[in-house]
């Protein structure tokens, strides 16, 4: 039987602060001021899983039991549960009801199936836009304190997101689990959190409600899997064995095969080739690419999915440390979201982020090198 903990807090703020500092789980916590009681369990249902929860499994008699474990409850010395991925976007925030989870490793072109440590990968050639939406500018606010539709808001090719990783920064009053860096708060290009204070979806981030006219907002892109599939479908089908299914992936915009020059998407390819125990990447070189994509579940995440990751990077980093991984600390993360070159003056502009400040901005794709984190739907 697992150990339980009883805690008493004077105020709700005391309790929330203790939770943010990773209160031991499972626990029963009471609030003296309000009389409220909270029961925090070791495992949660799929429907209640939150960012930072660890997707674990136990295999016995060739049957895998899958659970969603709070990161505070994970014990690296207990070999019963094996970590497989970390929740980034809860299912109640996705249109298809899936959880969006991130891999425990970075994408890798040298060991694509296993992933690896931080490894910069070329984004790829200018995309063919017929099968993928090109986004415009982000919906921004001029101040942290006033992020309402009636306040001063505009659009910009870049902006600063709040994150729970910046506790010494400026508190975001619309999602009090997150903070802006000082530079971000002073920038006049403020982006909203994907969350409201009650945990619901933020309209400005998702271009819904009063903000529905801002449909070109790239944070509205939550379709990294569809983006990745669209890129891969532009690959030369006669050379898929060499360019996508090989033991390694060429880290270049092009690959010379005989007398032919083949165009590549190394970052998307590396994410698609990632494999885990619960979500293996399976393909047959005799099958069509469409058939193989059905069993290649990992992908290069979209700007919106990366926005969710950044907003809860603190708890996700803690979860990574709990399972024995280093927190993500790369300067640039690439996404599968691209911009309209008529609006954003770049050739093949793609969203990239600086994790140290949560600045999202369009940068030139093509030969630009970035870090990638494979995502998957659960």
Is the full-model pTM beyond 0.85?
yes
Which of 334-345 are b and which e, b meaning 16 or more Cβ less than 10 Å from the residue's Cβ?
Answer: bbbbbbbeebbe
Inter-CA distances, 238 with 180, 235, 283, 286, 299, Å: 48, 9, 16, 11, 22
Structural contact between residues 31 and 17, judged by C-beta atoms closer than 8 angstroms: no
Q: What is the pLDDT of residue 339?
A: 87
Which of 74-98 are b and which e, b meaning 16 or more Cβ less than 10 Å from the residue's Cβ?
Answer: beeeeeebebbbbbbbbbebbeeee
Tally of helices (H runs) and strands (E runs) in the chain = 9, 22
Between 69-83, 175-189, 269-283, 334-348, the lowest mean confidence (pLDDT) is in 334-348
Q: What is the pLDDT of residue 167?
A: 84
For the chain, the farthest-separated pair of C-alpha atoms sits apart, in whole angstroms, at: 76
Partner residues linked to 102 by β-bridges: 86, 375
* Domain range summary for the chain, segments of one domain joined by +: 5-102, 106-378
225 CA to centre of own chain: 12
* pLDDT single digits (tens) 282-322: 999 999 999 999 999 999 999 999 999 999 999 999 999 99
- DSSP 8-state assignment for residue 299: B
Between 39-48, 63-72, 171-180, 205-214, the lowest mean confidence (pLDDT) is in 39-48
* pLDDT single digits (tens) 231-270: 999 999 999 999 999 999 999 999 999 898 999 999 999 9
CA–CA distance, 370 with 331 (Å, rounded to integer): 9
224 CA to centre of own chain: 10
- pLDDT category at 345 given cuts 50, 70, 90 is low
* pLDDT single digits (tens) 43-70: 999 999 999 999 999 999 999 999 999 9
* pLDDT higher than 60, residue 209: yes
Q: What is the pLDDT of residue 243?
A: 95
- pLDDT category at 357 given cuts 50, 70, 90 is confident
CA–CA distance, 147 with 377 (Å, rounded to integer): 31
Q: What is the DSSP string of 144-169?
A: SS--STTS-EEEESEEEPPBTT-TTS
């Amino acid at each position: 039987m697992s150990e339980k903990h009883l805690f008493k807090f004077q105020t709700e703020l005391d309790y929330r602060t203790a939770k943010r500092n990773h209160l031991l789980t499972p626990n029963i916590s009471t609030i003296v001021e309000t009389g409220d009681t909270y029961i925090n369990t070791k495992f949660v249902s799929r429907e209640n899983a939150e960012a930072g929860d660890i997707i674990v499994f136990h295999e016995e008699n060739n049957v895998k039991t899958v659970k969603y474990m709070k990161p505070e409850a994970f014990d690296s010395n207990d070999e019963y549960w094996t970590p497989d991925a970390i929740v980034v976007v809860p299912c109640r925030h996705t249109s298809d009801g899936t959880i969006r989870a991130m891999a425990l490793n970075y994408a890798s072109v040298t060991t694509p199936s296993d992933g690896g440590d931080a490894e910069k990968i070329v984004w790829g050639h200018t995309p063919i836009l017929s099968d993928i939406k090109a986004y415009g500018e982000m919906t921004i606010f001029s101040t942290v304190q006033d992020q309402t539709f009636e306040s001063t808001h505009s659009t910009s090719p870049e902006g600063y997101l709040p994150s729970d990783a910046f506790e010494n920064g400026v508190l975001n009053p619309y999602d009090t689990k997150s903070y802006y860096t000082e530079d971000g708060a002073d920038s006049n290009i403020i982006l909203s959190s994907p969350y409201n204070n009650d945990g619901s979806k933020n309209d400005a981030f998702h271009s819904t409600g009063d903000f529905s006219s801002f449909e070109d907002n790239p944070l509205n892109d939550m379709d990294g899997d569809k983006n990745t599939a669209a890129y891969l479908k532009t690959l030369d089908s006669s050379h898929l064995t060499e360019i996508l299914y090989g033991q390694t992936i060429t880290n270049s915009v092009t690959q010379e095969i005989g007398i032919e020059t083949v165009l590549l998407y190394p970052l998307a390819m590396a994410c698609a080739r990632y494999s885990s125990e619960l979500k293996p990447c399976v393909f047959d070189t005799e099958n069509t690419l469409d058939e193989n994509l059905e069993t290649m579940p990992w992908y290069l995440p979209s700007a919106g999915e990366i926005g969710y990751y950044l907003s809860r990077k603190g708890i996700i980093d803690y979860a990574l440390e709990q399972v024995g991984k280093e927190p993500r600390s790369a300067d640039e993360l690439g996404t599968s979201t691209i911009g309209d070159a008529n609006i954003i003056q770049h050739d093949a502009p793609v969203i990239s982020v600086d994790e140290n400040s949560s600045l999202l901005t369009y940068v030139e794709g093509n030969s630009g090198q970035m870090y990638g984190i494979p995502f998957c739907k659960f």
